[in-house]
Amino acid sequence: MNEKSGFEPKIVAFLCKWTTYAAADLCGVSRMPYPPNISIIRVNCTGEITADMILSAFEDGVDGILIGGCRPGHCRYEDSNLKGSNRVYLLKRALKEFGLNPERIREVGIAGAQGLIFQRAVEKFTADIRALGPSPVTDHA
Amino acid sequence: MDKLKIGIYWAAACGGCDCSLLEVNEQILDVAAGADILLWPCATDAKYDDLRGYSDRELDIVLFNGAIRTEENRDMAQLIRAKTKRLVAYGACAHTGGVIGLANLSTRAEIFTTVFGAEKEWPQALSNQAGHQLHLPAFLDHLTPLSDVVDVDYVIPGCPPPRKIVSEFFSALLAGDLPEPGAVFAAEKNLCDECEREREHTQITHILRVHEASPDPEKCLLDQGFLCMGPATRGGCGAVCPNANMPCTGCAGAPADVSDQGTAMLNTLASLVGTGAEGEDQIEGENAILEQIDDVIGTFYRYAAAKSLFGRRYREQHGQTN
């Protein structure tokens, strides 16, 4: 997909409150700017994000979904983050068949102290989604 | 008491739903005694003009099977809706789009190319055949369940609807004891609720397809690695498939409190797989198990692709991305 001029992607970020959300918080209190394209939804664990939540977000006109949780083995709830990751893995396969680019979903594992990494991750994801262009689902929302 | 006036119609369907009506055996005689069948293309000779001749809401109830695939299907659905007091979405295709809803993953052009070959071979809506003008109903861009084109009063799910449910429906109909519109003739809960197999909550370590092994008849099929749609499927059929040692394929659609059958099953399955490994190895191991699922949409959305959260909207743009 070609770069669309003037297109500002809408991105929803589901962030685990223990790690990536804390990193976003750190970004904020450190006055490290990141693109305003993302709307953050704080969750207890990425394991509670269901496939329907992601599909509903796309249906509501979101162009990309960022999922930020703990790195493998660091989950507060045993292996719940990995179960969430399994869902995303399966859902991406389903999205491909439904004709939507699975790159519109990205998972990151960022620790609470890594504000800088969060900032860069958001910048990178926003740029990548901007390059992908508007979600085709958006046209009909 | 006056006889009931009923109709049975098929749209984009295989004919199995019409057959399933006869599965009620001798009860069909009670139906014939208590009701006049004014429309049933599969079995009677009523013409469309006969139907057009009835006054509005003259029929008491129409069982509509099949999905909306062509203009004719859509126009007939609208005509029938005008002529009947109650309309029933009968069977998976009318209810959720059914197996043929998977066609929504392809564009109209792709389907025609596969079936008819080069574009010049495609059937035309208007053509001259031996001096006569032939009009074929247009093939719609997307297939939809019945409820997408008209209001539906009742749903009888299943592919085809199981005997027990059809029989209960006829009993209620003949006794004048139909529930309030909006009712679904099946259970509220999922299939597992009525399945007698033993569930041990073991982790799924490999995915099996039915031709690869014989399931243990006592244990939960999911525990054994067979992709049984039971957790995300409405019960009410009496778990006929699991009882016959076959996994549920999900024909009855999502349970009452679930909006999207495929994602519900996807969520469930993602939490069930496991290898016992931890950390990075765990992700790789579990993803490798999920990779064994050959056909994600065909498994999770076998009957509900046309009614899915996503298939419903996104199919309009299919093929124009990436």
Mean pLDDT (whole number) for B54-75: 96
pLDDT at B131 over 60: yes
Are A90 and B270 within 8 A, CB to CB?
yes
How near does any CA of chain A get to the CA of B197, in Å? 25
Mean pLDDT (whole number) for A65-89: 92
Q: What is the pLDDT of residues B267-317, one digit of tens each?
A: 999 999 988 877 678 888 999 999 999 889 999 999 998 888 776 555 434
How near does any CA of chain A get to the CA of B284, in Å? 10
SS3 call for B9: strand
Q: What dihedral angle (degrees, nearest 10) is formed by the CA atoms of B139, B143, B144, B150? A: 10
Q: Give chain B's largest Cα–Cα span.
A: 74
Are A85 and B293 within 8 A, CB to CB?
no
How much is the CA Rg of chain A, to the nearest whole Å?
Answer: 15
User: From the centroid of its chain, how far is CA A69?
Assistant: 10
Are A52 and B264 within 8 A, CB to CB?
yes
Chain B residue numbers touching A1 (CB-CB < 8 A): 321-322
pLDDT > 70 in chain A, percent: 94
CA B61, CA B177: separation in Å to the nearest integer? Answer: 13
Contacts 24+ apart (CB under 8 A), B41-50: B41/B9, B41/B10, B42/B8, B42/B10, B42/B15, B42/B18, B43/B8, B43/B18, B48/B76, B48/B79
Q: Mean pLDDT score of chain B, rounded to an integer? A: 91
Q: Mean pLDDT score of chain A, rounded to an integer? A: 91
- For residue B264, report the phi and psi dihedrals to the nearest 5 degrees: -60, -45
Chain A residue numbers touching B266 (CB-CB < 8 A): 51, 87, 90-91, 94
pLDDT at B199 over 60: yes
State the pLDDT at residue B1: 61
Per-residue confidence band for B129, with pLDDT thresholds at 50, 70 and 90:
confident
Give the residue with greater pLDDT, B322 vs B85: B85
Quick check: is A93 in a domain? yes
State the pLDDT at residue A1: 43
State the pLDDT at residue A138: 62
Are A51 and B105 within 8 A, CB to CB?
no
pLDDT at A4 over 60: no
CA B322, CA B313: separation in Å to the nearest integer? Answer: 17
Interface test with A, best of B290, B293, B312, B321 (most A CBs within 10 A): B321
Residue B119 CB coordination number (10 Å): 9
Residues spanned by the domain of A93: 11-134
Quick check: is A15 in a domain? yes
State the pLDDT at residue B154: 97
Give the residue with greater pLDDT, B52 vs B124: B52
State the pLDDT at residue A15: 97
Closest-CA residue of chain B to A88:
B270
Indicate the residue of A58, A87, A97 with minimum beta-carbon distance to B270: A87
Closest-CA residue of chain A to B261:
A52
CA B292, CA A136: separation in Å to the nearest integer? Answer: 29
Residues in A whose CB is inside 8 Å of some CB of B read: 1, 50-52, 55-56, 58-59, 72-73, 79, 82-87, 89-91, 93-95, 97-101, 136-137, 139-141
Which CATH number do you get for residue A124? 3.40.50
pLDDT at B321 over 60: no
Q: What is the pLDDT of residues A22-39, one digit of tens each?
A: 999 999 999 999 999 999
Quick check: is A114 in a domain? yes
Q: What is the pLDDT of residues B259-281, one digit of tens each?
A: 899 999 999 999 999 888 776 78
Domain map (residue ranges) of chain B: 4-101+139-174, 191-316
Which stretch of DSSP H or E encloses residue A35?
none
Are A86 and B320 within 8 A, CB to CB?
no
Chain B residues 171-210 within an 8 A CB cutoff of chain A = none
Beta bridge partners of B39: B7
B221 touches chain A (CB under 8 A): no
Closest-CA residue of chain B to A138:
B314
Indicate the residue of B270, B290, B297 with minimum beta-carbon distance to A97: B297
CA B45, CA A137: separation in Å to the nearest integer? Answer: 45
How near does any CA of chain B get to the CA of A32, in Å? 31
CA A110, CA B310: separation in Å to the nearest integer? Answer: 30
State the pLDDT at residue A59: 87
How near does any CA of chain A get to the CA of B113, in Å? 19
Per-residue confidence band for B112, with pLDDT thresholds at 50, 70 and 90:
very high
Per-residue confidence band for A141, with pLDDT thresholds at 50, 70 and 90:
very low
Are B317 and A97 within 8 A, CB to CB?
no
Work out how many domains chain A is built from and give that number.
1
Indicate the residue of A56, A89, A90 with minimum beta-carbon distance to B309: A56
Q: What is the pLDDT of residues B220-266, one digit of tens each?
A: 999 999 999 999 999 999 999 999 999 999 999 999 989 899 999 99
Q: What is the pLDDT of residues A103-133, one digit of tens each?
A: 999 999 999 999 999 999 999 999 999 999 8
State the pLDDT at residue B278: 75
CATH number for the domain running over B4-101+139-174: 3.40.50.700
Mean pLDDT (whole number) for B47-69: 95
State the pLDDT at residue A2: 46
Give the residue with greater pLDDT, A100 vs A108: A108
Interface test with A, best of B142, B259, B287, B310 (most A CBs within 10 A): B310
CA B123, CA A7: separation in Å to the nearest integer? Answer: 41
Chain A residue numbers touching B283 (CB-CB < 8 A): 72, 82, 85-86
State the pLDDT at residue B46: 86
CA B303, CA B307: separation in Å to the nearest integer? Answer: 9
